Amino acid sequence: MANRNIYEDLDQLSTAAALSIAKLINSANEMGRPFSIALSGGSTPKRLHQCLTRSPTMETIKWGGVKLYFGDERTVEPDHEQSNYLMAKTTLFDQLPIPSENIYRIPAELEDHQKAADLYQQTIIETLSKSEEGIPIFDLVLLGIGDDGHIASLFPNTPILTETASFVSPVYVPKLDTWRISITYPVINHAKNIFILAAGTNKADIINDVLGSTNKDNVYPVQRIQPKGELSWYLDRAAAKHII
């Protein structure tokens, strides 16, 4: 059963998620283990990133063992305004003492999208611990959710939803008329922790469809997550208004 955490607003949601992440990082550090995070794109995580770089949270976290990855990326240059890497760089990396070798960017600017996915798949295979089946395991996967129930770049009615052999795959998203590179369900499901962040009234209907209503006609991409670890929702009151 997933944990549901509801907060007054985006700032309190983000502060709470940052404190949870700090605890997870520091407990891994106490056990002498690195901590791997797959960052989310979009706008919701920006406040979380700011909370992670703000005193006193930032000083309490042992950043040296943290390895940062991406759950998905747009097929643009890393300095493009749409780039998830650029968003994370400006709101997170640039403020933190994380060595550049611990930041693993998806090379999504490559013309050959399959090659970009294969390269990143090799990166996560080589740098993460793996399950008995050889599936890379993130300590934490951060996700936002779209109003169509997509997570990462697992959009409705796209072939990536049934991808189980690859850990990273290119996906053409018709509604956006663009390609994306994304981790797939096997990797998401094997994460030790999954946080899904949603804020604002524009998310209230999808949150109700997924967490509130009994309507199971639409199996949204987010509902196909079958976590082996712990799944936690971080919602503000506006996004949760139909379920509280």
Q: Applying CB under 6 A, which residues contact ligand 6PG? A: 40-44, 72, 84, 144-146, 150-153
- CA nearest neighbour of 51 among 197, 183, 152, 240: 197
Nearest approach, Cβ of 243 to ligand 6PG (angstroms)? 18
Nearest approach, Cβ of 225 to ligand 6PG (angstroms)? 13
CB closer to ligand 6PG, 67 vs 180 = 180
CB closer to ligand 6PG, 152 vs 194 = 152
Cα–Cα distance list, 138 to 20, 79, 162, 163 (Å): 16, 26, 20, 18
Nearest approach, Cβ of 130 to ligand 6PG (angstroms)? 23
> Do residues 155 and 173 lie in contact, with contact meaning Cβ atoms separated by under 8 Å?
yes
Nearest approach, Cβ of 3 to ligand 6PG (angstroms)? 19
Nearest approach, Cβ of 120 to ligand 6PG (angstroms)? 14
Q: Which amino acid is located at 38 in the chain?
A: A
- CA nearest neighbour of 162 among 189, 184, 133: 184
In eight-state DSSP terms, residue 103 is B
CB closer to ligand 6PG, 144 vs 170 = 144
CB closer to ligand 6PG, 67 vs 150 = 150
CB closer to ligand 6PG, 71 vs 186 = 71
Cα–Cα distance list, 211 to 116, 185, 189, 208, 231 (Å): 34, 19, 18, 5, 13
Q: Is 121 helix (H, G, I), strand (E, B) or coil?
A: helix
CB closer to ligand 6PG, 28 vs 44 = 44
CA distance linking residue 211 with residue 206, whole number of Å: 8
Nearest approach, Cβ of 244 to ligand 6PG (angstroms)? 20
